[in-house]
Chains A and B, each alone.
Chain A
Amino acid sequence: MDKLKQPKIKIVNLSKVFGRAPKKMLQLVQQGMDKTELLTKHRHVLALDNINMELQEHSIEVIMGLSGSGKSTLIRHINRLIAPTVGEVLVDGENICGMSATQLRRFRQKKTAMVFQNFALLPHRTVIDNISFGLQVQGQSEARIKRSSHYWLERVGLTGYEKHYPAQLSGGMQQRVGLARALACDADILMMDEAFSALDPLIRSDMQNILLELQTELKKTIVFITHDLDEALKIGDRIAILNQGKLIQQGTADDILLHPADDYVRRFVADVNRTGVLRARSIMDVKIQSNPDFSNTVVVKEDDTVREVLHSMLSADSYNALVTNQNGKAVGRIDSEMLAAAVNN
């Protein structure tokens, strides 16, 4: 990853306390009071505890955690649907907590678009009028609204449904409308708050594929909230794990599987089927023997998953694999013992 690049979204020392006197209660937290004590003694909820986080441009950044971890609260700070108790949220270097009401409205119209868990479509408007909602709020011209909303209607595969009302559609179709409404805004940042969690598994998988396919072309900054680890591993370029309002770990899927930051993350990832997630690059030995024995060796790519490596080795009846990068240069090797260790870990 390019370290010099400025992050699209930067969250600095952000804390959020819900209750009557959040600022005062935050001082107690800073003096060492924990979340449970704050709740039982003072009836204030510490939703987010000193979050520092950078989200990169053009990538899918997943924020995951179980219910009550603060993930939905965190995503709402990015467009200031919730204002922080302390801390800053910088988008393209600009602190959105300092914006006036009008600036904030412009920011929400132009820079961010959001997809919701419960779809939150406008029940009294047809599909096409739902999709055009964001553009209409922006004050675009009629022609532009019409062109754009029909384009996105088609892109999410709902051609023919433009005159239907949301209540007439299935959950999966409703969320396609939600996605089209967000994409039509042409905002840099797409915020998805458990967008696929209310859908049944097959439809959810479909929607994930639609999103990944669109992303290869659109290259937006997608902030994706989920409680489902498999979903996080499937679509996330990077994953941030939140627990009890604290950021525990942020990294790629391989990072999190191979180097869990603490017991919580370790327990969390224990049941994941690693073979479909881990890449050859992460488990290979970078020391290639100076005099390699090429007999009975298969060649795999560094981006192949462990499952693909296993498949290649089994079908060639081989015990060794040579890992190559995009340019075909050998960068490491994998043998059957390393493969077994990766699967069993």
Chain B
Amino acid sequence: MSWSEFPSMSRTDLRSLRRSIDESFRDFTQEYGESLERFFDPLLEFLIFSERLLLSTPWPLMIAICAALAFLASRSWKIVLGVLVAFILIGYLGMWQDTMRTLSIITVCTMVAIAVGIPIGIAMARSNKLQALISPVLDVMQTMPSFVYLIPVVMLLGIGKVPGLIAVIIYALPPIVRLTNLGIRQVDPDVIEAADAFGCSSWQKLVNIQMPLALPSIFAGVNQTIMMSLSMVVIASMIGVKGLGQPVLKAITNQYFSMGLLNGFAIVAIAIIFDRVSQQYGRRIQLHRQGDHNG
């Protein structure tokens, strides 16, 4: 036996191991695939609804709504101007519909990530055991190449919007969970002690103290989640999610340089808008931290 060769399993053993895993998963798929699909039906309907809503809204109204939201969140005319220019360019260059589809899936994805991620983050902040349990799972979610978990998702749910959304959420969920956990754990222990001394229940503590004080951190998590889900749109387009990802995919396979570039820039523009708006908003909600000792 030589040391340069690792004593691996025999080929037949390895093949049968893989086959048994594959077969049992296939059985699982056949058994539960349909009921899982039904389970995700409301999500699918929500996705279709939001896409239709964005697509059927007249474009001037849509731009006005986006600009108004940007202003409400950031109170900055510079950002509003950026939003206007970006959307008008996107429309003029013929990417309006794809951009609306991408916006729709990003919005739904962010909402789901918030709805799922914040409670998990809160639970994690309350128990060290749970934190030790969930942290490695989050690591796997973030580092596992997305193609690997696309395989079982597609086997279970086929090709379409819902599996795409799930793939995006798996990738984009960890930051919001982590930053919710971190934000709550970083709340000044003196303030928590004061809350205990005044007889707060743990719910009152969560609502009145921990969540408001963790908000900047949670907000950074939401921002990260949006950025990461945007970066997933191309991969999601491989399993049938329509939007800016599909032209990019087409551009890769056919070597259409300018097509890839334009759609890529549209994704970047949306990312920058989301990022600046949410960062400005995050800064505004923690104004109380800026001491003004002349007060």
Contacts and interface: CB of A to CB of B under 8 A. Distances in A.
A105 B199 contact: yes
Interface residues of A, number: 34
Given A164-B295, A167-B291, A169-B295, A120 B190 contact: yes
A118 interface: yes
Interface in B186-202: 188, 190-191, 193-201
Interface in A147-194: 161, 164-170, 185, 191
A338 interface: no
Contacts of A297: none
B201 A105 contact: yes
B13 interface: no
Contact of A137 (B193, B204, B212): B204
A168 B295 contact: yes
Interface string A91-116: 00000000000001111111011101
Contacts of A137: 195, 198-200, 204
Contacts of B288: 123-124, 165-167
Contacts of B198: 108-109, 113-114, 133-134, 137, 185
A109 B204 CA distance: 13
Contacts of B206: none
A108 B209 CA distance: 18
A79 interface: yes
B290 interface: yes
Given A116-B193, A118-B190, A108 B212 contact: no
Contact of B209 (A79, A122, A185, A191): A122
B213 A109 contact: no
Contacts, number: 73
B290 A106 contact: no
A81 interface: yes
B295 to A, nearest CB: 4
Interface in B259-295: 288-293, 295
Contacts of A191: 197
B251 to A, nearest CB: 47
Contact of A123 (B195, B204, B213): B213
Q: Chain A contact residues: over half helix, strand or loop, or mixed? A: mixed
A77 to B, nearest CB: 12
A56 B208 CA distance: 35
B193 A123 contact: no
Nearest to A130: B194
Interface in A272-314: none
Contacts of B200: 105, 137
Interface in B160-197: 188, 190-191, 193-197
A252 to B, nearest CB: 29
B199 A114 contact: no
B186 to A, nearest CB: 13
Nearest to A164: B295
A236 to B, nearest CB: 22
A81 B209 contact: no
Nearest to B204: A137
B197 A114 contact: yes
19 contacts: A105-B200, A105-B201, A108-B197, A109-B198, A110-B199, A114-B194, A118-B190, A120-B188, A120-B190, A122-B208, A122-B209, A123-B288, A138-B199, A167-B288, A168-B291, A168-B292, A169-B295, A170-B293, A191-B197
Interface of A: 79, 81, 104-110, 112-114, 116, 118, 120-124, 133-134, 136-138, 161, 164-170, 185, 191
Task: List the 10 closest pairs (A to B, CB-CB), nearest first.
Answer: A108-B199, A109-B199, A168-B295, A167-B291, A120-B194, A165-B288, A114-B197, A120-B190, A105-B199, A134-B198
Given A105-B199, A191-B197, 7 more contacts: A106-B199, A114-B198, A120-B190, A123-B191, A137-B199, A166-B288, A167-B290
